[in-house]
Chains A and B, each alone.
Chain A
Amino acid sequence: MVQLLFFMAAIGAIGGALAVVLLRNPFFSVLALVVHLMALSVLFLLLHAEFLAAAQLIVYAGAVMVLYVFVVSYVGGADELLAEAGVARKLAPVFGVVLLFAFSLAIGGSALKALDTRGADLPAGFGSPAQIGELLLTRFLLPFEIASFLLTIAAVGAVLLARRRRGLEEVDDVSGDGGVV
């Protein structure tokens, strides 16, 4: 059962990721991304990371993807191709394949060793919301606070950039003396 679920989720994840890249219509790409993220959350479940699986579904497949769908429907333009295929663009797949090979080697090299084992020894309750919450309040208190500050400052940055939309206030004395106070 677990094996079956794993292979289904794995195929879903890889297939979804491929579809994101290969599909021409951005709307379908977004939908393929949803499939990919859902398959990933199943994989997380299989790894006993229940909280992560739920967060993945709610935050990514739920909230973030809705945002993507909005953006795609606003911006639209499914048939606009980006740019002429230059040399760099033609070389890109070559580099991609080489990198894929290297990483498969790297990950496979480590992962294959673990095939016959039972996996890492996890303490009871590993990955449960309670334990994650505890970690966020103890060992990872600082990262947690930094993340909140990061969000605040990102909002400040967004406000700064959004000024352009709202219209800038008149800069009256640009050519003047530089506004000596």
Chain B
Amino acid sequence: MTTLLAAAGQVHGPSVEYGSLLPILILAGGAIVTIFVSLIGGRAAQRLLTPITAIVTLVSAGVVFAVRIGEPDISILGGALALDDVSAIFDLLFVSAALCASVLVWRSDTLREAGAGEFFSLLITTVLGMAILVSATNLVTFFLGFELFSIPLYVLCAADLRRNTSLEAGLKYLLIGSLGSAVLLYGLSMIYGATGHTDYASIARAVSLPALRDDPLLLAGVALTLAGLAFKASVAPFHQWTPDVYQGAPTPVAAFMAVATKFAVIAVLLRVGMQALGPAREHWEVMVAMLATVTIFVGNIGALRQESLKRMLAYSGVAQVGYVLAGIVAGTWLGVYAIGFYLFAYLAMNIGPFAVIATRERSGAGDGMRGMRNLGREAPWLAWPMTICMLALAGLPVTAGFVGKLLLMQAAIDGHYAWLAVMIALGSAISLGYYLRVVAAIWMPSAVRDEVFGDGTRSGTSALAGAAPEADAARHPELVALAVTAAAASVLFGFYPRPLLELARILAYAGGQLIF
């Protein structure tokens, strides 16, 4: 006993800097408080108090993250977490995505099925996991952060408990996601085995030694780690689960996954790829370039024949990740700069369509291409945002998507991957095929449309499309507002990209410091 006490006297825990830990504490505390708030009182508490608690949590965490941008880098808890501009900017992206998802879910049936407290608590935890993931400077923290955002997402996918497709999506995501995590963990353990370290900085030092130049164990570890991350970001050929899961999952959750999980993986690629494995970049650079090419083509071609908009957006998301990977491949200041801009633009361009789909789904029209018909005439407030976001995703000039793609292509060329820039251009050309199809469905008069699509369901359309679209546009003002905001942002940052470019510059500067 006395020896134990003596030993205990010698152990000094790391100093806990509560001030710097604040956003993490807000998120962790908020996740717990939200559950307790949902226990208060009756329905009013469930419907109003809980979402407000969740949104207050997210907003306050977001404010703290935003304030941190530009502050000097610090490393807290004995070097366990790095709080720099890279993590601050990505945290801001995660929080924004979660806020959009909160608006999408606010008055939906999903919230009643799953219980507001549980749903928001899981959503906040995903953000917490992602925040830890991007700040991690250690493989152990990295993996735990990874699981902390994955496991709540598996449950959230199945949150529409009454709908079998939602349960199927949850199960599929759980199985594939666990496989991805297992592959990732295997890869991480091999990296540890080869280098003998779990800290990113020590790994980078070990990797830069000539002894590990062509170490097969390290190479296998890097390959498996990439594969594990590719599962999560739905990089082809690890993307097969994506359309099924997005289609089955509740739309707010699909919207959140479509943006936030991809951002998280990109952030990890920046940190682990450039910091820990930076010295070994000639090994994985080509690997990622190949993956990017395959991803661009598989995503764009897969999206062409989709009738469900959520499936189409899933494939389009696959393709978009391919474009962003080009920035990672380039690995230069410009590459990170382009990624920074593109991710913010991507957030706006993707949330808009999901908000429109959510509105159509609530009126019983489903997420099919048919729900879009005549939208131009009947609900311009839904039709315009959808059109603008589709054009922005396709990368048409004067949209943020155009500026983003231009920057990414420039980065690829600058990083001696000109062929990858060509792939991006080719992919964008193919993508017009499906983005414009949606636009056509929205605006074309039905006679012309029947000629084009030739499916002869003209008389049945309005019945299939459910309630009148203009009515549900008025009934869901928050969704319409979100869609309009997203579309406005997609155009505004195409005209006036300076604010986003400023954020991208900060990210690129911080990213440049990561490069060993």
Q: Which residues of chain B have C-beta atoms less than 8 A from A157's C-beta?
A: 118, 122, 151-152, 154-155
Does B33 interact with chain A (Cβ within 8 Å)? no
Does B147 interact with chain A (Cβ within 8 Å)? yes
Does A68 interact with chain B (Cβ within 8 Å)? no
Q: Known: A139-B78, A179-B112. Contact between A161 and B145, CB under 8 A?
A: no
Q: Which residues of chain B have C-beta atoms less than 8 A from A105's C-beta?
A: 216
Does B217 interact with chain A (Cβ within 8 Å)? yes
Fill in one digit per residue for B139-163: 1 if any A CB lies within 8 Å of its CB, else 0.
0110011011001101100110110
In the bound complex, how far is the Cα of B396 from the Cα of A114, in angstroms? 57
- Of all chain A residues, the one with the shortest Cβ separation from B162 is A168
The smallest C-beta distance from B183 to any residue of chain A, in angstroms, reads 10
- Of all chain B residues, the one with the shortest Cβ separation from A172 is B112
- Contact across chains for A140 and B140 when beta carbons are under 8 A apart: yes
Does A82 interact with chain B (Cβ within 8 Å)? no
Interface with A: B5-13, B284-292, B443-451, which one? B5-13
- Contact across chains for B141 and A146 when beta carbons are under 8 A apart: yes
The smallest C-beta distance from A96 to any residue of chain B, in angstroms, reads 13
Does A22 interact with chain B (Cβ within 8 Å)? no
- Contact across chains for A142 and B121 when beta carbons are under 8 A apart: no
- Contact across chains for B13 and A177 when beta carbons are under 8 A apart: no
Does B19 interact with chain A (Cβ within 8 Å)? no
Interfacial residues of chain B within 79-132, with CB under 8 A of chain A in the complex = 80-81, 107-109, 112-115, 118-119, 121-122, 125, 128, 132
Does B215 interact with chain A (Cβ within 8 Å)? yes
The smallest C-beta distance from A113 to any residue of chain B, in angstroms, reads 9
In the bound complex, how far is the Cα of B158 from the Cα of A164, in angstroms? 11
A-B pair count, CB < 8 Å, reads 123
Q: Identify which of B80, B119, B219 gathers the most chain A CB atoms within 10 Å of its CB.
A: B80
Q: How big is the B interface, by class?
A: 35 or more
Q: Which residues of chain A have C-beta atoms less than 8 A from B128's C-beta?
A: 149
- Of all chain A residues, the one with the shortest Cβ separation from B145 is A146
Does A163 interact with chain B (Cβ within 8 Å)? yes
Interface with A: B188-196, B265-273, B293-301, which one? B188-196
Q: Which residues of chain A have C-beta atoms less than 8 A from B144's C-beta?
A: 143, 146-147, 150
The smallest C-beta distance from B384 to any residue of chain A, in angstroms, reads 23
**Partner pick for B220 among A106, A146, A168, A179, CB 8 A cutoff:** A106
- Of all chain B residues, the one with the shortest Cβ separation from A102 is B220
The smallest C-beta distance from B82 to any residue of chain A, in angstroms, reads 12
- Contact across chains for B217 and A141 when beta carbons are under 8 A apart: no
Q: Which residues of chain A have C-beta atoms less than 8 A from B141's C-beta?
A: 142-143, 146
Q: Which residues of chain B have C-beta atoms less than 8 A from A158's C-beta?
A: 155
Interfacial residues of chain B within 18-32, with CB under 8 A of chain A in the complex = 28, 31-32
Does A171 interact with chain B (Cβ within 8 Å)? yes
- Contact across chains for B77 and A181 when beta carbons are under 8 A apart: no
Does B14 interact with chain A (Cβ within 8 Å)? yes
Does A130 interact with chain B (Cβ within 8 Å)? yes
The smallest C-beta distance from B285 to any residue of chain A, in angstroms, reads 19
In the bound complex, how far is the Cα of B167 from the Cα of A82, in angstroms? 19
Q: Kindly list 7 other residue pairs between chains A and B, CB separation below 8 angstroms, not including A142-B77, A149-B128, A168-B113.
A: A107-B190, A139-B80, A143-B80, A147-B144, A149-B28, A156-B118, A174-B109
Q: Give 20 A-B contacts (CB < 8 Å), ordered by A residue.
A: A106-B220, A107-B217, A120-B196, A142-B77, A142-B132, A142-B141, A146-B144, A146-B148, A149-B148, A150-B144, A150-B147, A153-B31, A153-B121, A159-B118, A160-B119, A160-B155, A164-B167, A168-B113, A171-B109, A181-B47
